Amino acid sequence: MTQSPISNLHFPVPPDDGSTWRKYLTDYNEGLGLVYERFVLNDFLDALRVRHGIQSVLEAPLYGMAGVSGINDVILAQNGVGVTMVDDNAERLAGVERIWRGDLRLPANLVQIRPDQWGHLPFDSAAFDLTWQWAGLWYIGDPAGLLTELARTSRNLVFVAMPNNIQVGYWMRKLIIDREFFTTHDESWTQIGRIRRILENAGVEIIEQGVLDTPPWPDTVMPANEVLKRLGIRSQQLEAQFTGDGWHWSTMAYYMGQEPELRERVMKYAWLDHAPLPWQVKAVWAHHRYLLGRKVG
């Protein structure tokens, strides 16, 4: 693991008090929505692995999805792919390292950089079969630099996904339940056209675009009981339904073999993700939009 001191920040870094990630380094109960999101992403990544013969991946940053940090690449590591992940937060990276070594018992190369280093990743050009990020651009200080680096360090594929800014849950979150977030994070990085232009200028040909993570509930990026509180809904019956021992959803429990039936329980909600509809139709409800590109030249 590369240790680097924080110095001379060149970009405005969004504030991070740890409240959205620290809890989940030890509490693996993420909620149904996050477990669903991870299983859908797993299917997409594993299909890329099979279709393109992927043997090495770089995920940067490793933080973007809520819930347990740094476990998006587990499906790849389980299938023998060499995994490298990057973060600029030493505490979070140490937690992810413990998860991989202690609980998952899988190999991973974890690299720490400075918060001003996203435009200068410490890897050779064309070092990985796939470089990618999931919903992390608005958490770092130099998103454009990172996108250029994902292009430079890939020898084949680049995959980038961000929250879908036209779906219902996004606007519910922005206007009602999480307005503070949008005052401190640059939501222009959800504009897929902006991301596409940067990737194309960096030598990436977009070969596929679409949506992922389309369950039958809105994207609120927080547990259901917290959504109820922020909406001012006080109901002991509803709160009991979404809390307690009966409401436990953990991808880590599935990965560690404790709940082997979890995927079947969760993916019964994937009928819209699997529906043979144009992605533009699904975009009204889908939680994420993505671009898949191939290096040219």
Q: What is the pLDDT of residue 41?
A: 98
* pTM, 2 dp: 0.86
Instruction: Calculate the CA dihedral of residues 85, 1, 12, 123 and round it to 10 degrees.
Output: -60
226 falls in which pLDDT band (50, 70, 90)? low
Q: 3-state DSSP call for residue 15?
A: coil
219 falls in which pLDDT band (50, 70, 90)? low
Q: What is the pLDDT of residues 33-43, one digit of tens each?
A: 999 999 999 99
Phi, psi of 85 (to 5 degrees): -130, 150
Contact 221, 134 (CB under 8 A): no
Angle between helices 143-153 and 192-201 (to 10 degrees): 50
CATH of region 24-295: 3.40.50.150
- The whole-angstrom separation of Cα 11 and Cα 73 is 28
Q: What is the pLDDT of residues 248-271, one digit of tens each?
A: 899 999 999 999 999 999 999 999
Q: What is the pLDDT of residue 188?
A: 87
**Which residues 6+ apart lie within 8 Å of 247 measured at CB?**
241
